[in-house]
Structure 1
Amino acid sequence: MAAERNLSVVVHRAGDLRLENRPVPEPGPNEVLLKMHSVGICGSDVHYWQRGRIGDFVVKSPMVLGHEASGTVVKVGSSVTTLKKGDRVAIEPGVPRETDEFCKNGRYNLSPSIFFCATPPDDGNLCRYYTHNANFCYKLPENVTFEEGALIEPLSVGIHACRRAGVTLGSTVFICGAGPIGLVTLLIAKVMGASQVVISDLSASRLEKAKELGADATIEVGGESPQELAERVKSTLGCMPEITVECCGAEPSIQAAIYATRSGGTVVLVGLGPEMVTLPLVNAAVREVDIRGIFRYCNTWPMAIAMLASKKVNVQPLVTHRFPLEKALEAFETTSKGIGIKVMLKCDPSDQNP
């Protein structure tokens, strides 16, 4: 294996994306070495490639991209007892570096010391071989594919958002944005018991995909004001939604989310846009509309695996394009053009199957 090439997708600076051969890493005592299989391209990967930064996270040295991933264990560290060579696993990309107060109360995603794949200065896993903390690698059942395993990462955002929103039996839900995160939020809201889910987007093709995945109604956004969009949501649902999940991050969309939500309801902000936005906070305050944020996810992989294994959730329709790792640059161009939904890179040249 030492003689094998570890082809990796590396961003050097804004606009500079390269395929490079790096050494095959050795796992530490608590790590496993993985032969990567499927890695999805996320909007954040494209952002680092095109702009070299996301907020305070700046690419200052070459960084391997990729954090939506699955692979096979090929070597285990000396202290690892939970996994063995040959195990197929899904990777949770965020690993706390220390057991701080956030880890102790179960909200490890908020730990300031967290390691996160493909977030400067930490390398991601869009490569042939990658080492990761064994406690954050989850064994996949035989009936869950590698691609489904890779899609657990975006699916986890939907799970965390719906948990924070309090989606339950009979909930009425409005989702702003039918990109990958909006669509997985739709899937999770439905499986958690939402009675009606309406989803909005600028793209008619993405709304068609939302219908395929179970949306009760769709709204193609035009040039209307946030208040007018809120009225369209109300007339479409026949009521104001109890829960709105905002997956765009655009200021008008967040405004519409607040106006649309029923008094006493909840708005969850998933999409990240400008650092400063103007919002109708008085409208929210006097109607007791709760506004909640989310940061990635925590404690979601076991639930996601159980739902995929039981076939309660079908994420395969989200994958619209597949490329071998050698064609990663073409795959990134495809993603940046907004073509399709989820672009999946296949890292194992001997196994290009889902």
Structure 2
Amino acid sequence: MRCSVLRTAGELEVQERAVPRPGHREVLVRISAVGTCGSDVHYFRHGRIGHFVVRDPLVLGHEPSGRIVAVGTGVDTTRIGQRVSLEPGVPCRRCRYCHTGAYNLCPDITFFATPPVDGAFAEYVAIADDFAHPVPDHVSDDAAALLEPLSVAIWAHRRAGTGLGSRVLVAGAGPIGLLVAQVAAVQGATEVLVIDPDPDRRALAGAFGATAALDPAVDDPRDPDVDMDVDVFVDCSGAAPAVLGGLAAVRPGGVAVLVGMGADEMTLPVSALQSREITLTGTFRYANTWPAAVALAPSVDLDRLVTGHVDLDHVGDALSPDPAQVKVMVRP
């Protein structure tokens, strides 16, 4: 099979490798589509994210969909031919986190495209059968792949407790921010404010369910005259000014959720967090979200996020940031 391999930062090579053989309770999936993510871009440009370092050649890509073409022992052969969305992190199933359902925190999780584990910019992958989730015919191959970032948005709102009547502020109108905004609306938020400095991204936010798209240069939440008083703030930017602005916008007793990956450290207004009893939490991937993502797929506009397609020979083009692109898909 062919696969796109990151040899070192900034250097990709299409290689021929053996097709994986599915092991016990595994399936072999012919990949149909893979979304490109900010983490793929970061590995491509810098060769590392925090303490995850690319030391050996690595196949990127962790937002895949495809079709099961073979099964290992212990898997019902009727699954052959089934269209699936792949949940890219398979946990150990034995640790305290797995046993309590928080398998995203499993210290031994095997996650696609996280060194040293290869991802899905390839023609075939093998994965545990229960992490290959069936998708209905009305969900396209691209949308099935994008159930992964949709799961990020679902998990953020589970952490936030967003519900009927919530007033939500989302910082960053990239793919995750747009999905967070859509999921907020689906879950019953009556106001969904999206803040982003880029006018084109603000226009997109309006098309993706935001009730208002704000310019931080005009509507700075830290300005005493700007009173947003939101129940939930979700940062999808990783930018310190956006985080600080969002925290200033949260009402007393509200919740702030950090999704975007930015600097390893930043200074926070601890006294304000304490005196206003704001709950501040992070997110790390997701757990038990695919059933909800499949069910929500018709209610969110996944296909409209897609602004381009490339093949394995042009993955580098997809990983070179272009402000005009929202989500570029790889079609192996």
Taking structure 1 as the reference length, the TM-score comes to: 0.91
Residue number in structure 2 paired with 1:272: 261
Residue number in structure 2 paired with 1:166: 161
Letter in 1 for 2:308: H
Residues 246, 153 of structure 1: CA spacing in aligned structure 2 closer, same or farther, 3 A cutoff? Answer: same
* Structure 2 stretches lacking a partner, 5+ long: none
Tell me how far 1:338 sits from its aligned partner. Answer: 2.9
Question: How do residues 307-318 of structure 1 correspond to structure 2 at under 5 angstroms?
Answer: 307-308=296-297, 311-318=298-305
Are 2:316 and 1:345 aligned? no
Residue number among 289, 296, 311 corresponding to 1:324 in the alignment: 311
Tell me how far 1:345 sits from its aligned partner. Answer: 1.1
Residues 251, 326 of structure 1: CA spacing in aligned structure 2 closer, same or farther, 3 A cutoff? Answer: same
Are 2:65 and 1:70 aligned? yes
Tell me how far 1:225 sits from its aligned partner. Answer: 6.4
SS of residue paired to 1:19: strand
Take 1:252 and 1:129, find their aligned partners in 2: how far apart are those partners?
Answer: 41
Letter in 2 for 1:330: D
Letter in 2 for 1:114: I
Residue number in structure 1 paired with 2:139: 144
Take 1:254 and 1:281, find their aligned partners in 2: how far apart are those partners?
Answer: 13
Take 1:202 and 1:246, find their aligned partners in 2: how far apart are those partners?
Answer: 14
Letter in 2 for 1:202: P
Take 2:7 and 2:47, find their aligned partners in 1: how far apart are those partners?
Answer: 8
Which stretch has the larger CA shift, 118-127 or 16-25?
A: 16-25
Cα pair 2:91 2:106 within 8 Å, conserved = yes
Which stretch has the larger CA shift, 117-126 or 219-228?
A: 219-228
* Structure 1 stretches lacking a partner, 5+ long: 1-5, 348-354
Are 2:87 and 1:100 aligned? no
Tell me how far 1:83 sits from its aligned partner. Answer: 5.9
Take 1:115 and 1:338, find their aligned partners in 2: how far apart are those partners?
Answer: 32
Residue number in structure 2 paired with 1:214: 209
Are 2:256 and 1:259 aligned? no
Displaced runs of 4+ in structure 1, greater than 3 A? 223-226
Take 2:88 and 2:199, find their aligned partners in 1: how far apart are those partners?
Answer: 32
Question: How do residues 84-233 of structure 1 correspond to structure 2 at under 5 angstroms?
Answer: 84-222=79-217, 227-228=222-223, 231-232=225-226
Are 2:61 and 1:54 aligned? no
Residue number in structure 2 paired with 1:20: 15
Take 2:245 and 2:225, find their aligned partners in 1: how far apart are those partners?
Answer: 9
Tell me how far 1:325 sits from its aligned partner. Answer: 2.7
Tell me how far 1:38 sits from its aligned partner. Answer: 0.4
Take 1:194 and 1:273, find their aligned partners in 2: how far apart are those partners?
Answer: 27
Aligned-pair identity in percent equals 42
Letter in 2 for 1:51: H
Take 2:263 and 2:296, find their aligned partners in 1: how far apart are those partners?
Answer: 34
Tell me how far 1:329 sits from its aligned partner. Answer: 2.2
Tell me how far 1:19 sits from its aligned partner. Answer: 1.6
Residue number among 278, 284, 288 corresponding to 2:277 in the alignment: 288
RMSD: 1.5
Deviations 1:222-267 (A, max 9, x none): 3886612x754x3xxxx41111001111111111111110011000
Cα pair 2:93 2:99 within 8 Å, conserved = no
Take 2:203 and 2:12, find their aligned partners in 1: how far apart are those partners?
Answer: 32
SS of residue paired to 2:193: strand
Cα pair 2:160 2:255 within 8 Å, conserved = yes
Cα pair 1:231 1:260 within 8 Å, conserved = no
Take 2:278 and 2:4, find their aligned partners in 1: how far apart are those partners?
Answer: 43
Which stretch has the larger CA shift, 239-248 or 172-181?
A: 239-248
Residue number in structure 2 paired with 1:41: 36
Letter in 1 for 2:65: S
Residues 119, 150 of structure 1: CA spacing in aligned structure 2 closer, same or farther, 3 A cutoff? Answer: same
SS of residue paired to 1:169: coil
Residues 253, 13 of structure 1: CA spacing in aligned structure 2 closer, same or farther, 3 A cutoff? Answer: same
Cα pair 1:226 1:252 within 8 Å, conserved = no
Taking structure 2 as the reference length, the TM-score comes to: 0.96
Cα pair 1:245 1:268 within 8 Å, conserved = yes
